[in-house]
Structure 1
């Protein structure tokens, strides 16, 4: 049971991080304002905030790592 919870949590964070990456690279983002229920909207915004935080940590790690370099495209 605990293993499934960890797995689903990891999957949710991964999806949220991908959404954050799409938002950062394209400018498109989910319209949470269209969610009528305030509690569900708040949970969705928190969910997306977690992805933003994870994306920021990954980006900072890549910037400070010698294994990554900026593309010349």
Structure 2
């Protein structure tokens, strides 16, 4: 897995974990799954940043996601 793919998957997982966290907290439940997904997303993002020399800037993130989509989606 290359760093761009890990960054894109980590960002998508991070975004998708927020509704799960908010739903669990609003219903006074423990947000186990949302928290686990958020930790996994954070780990993937940190790994991707550590693997790419110079890291990522916020301006590069849309291009990274589009490049990953262009590579892996038909």
Q: TM-score range by the shorter chain?
A: 0.3 to 0.5
Q: Normalising by structure 2, report the TM-score.
A: 0.41
Bigger CA radius of gyration: 1
Larger relative contact order (Cα-Cα within 8 Å, sequence gap ≥ 6): 2
Q: Normalising by structure 1, report the TM-score.
A: 0.42
Structure with the largest fraction of helix: 2
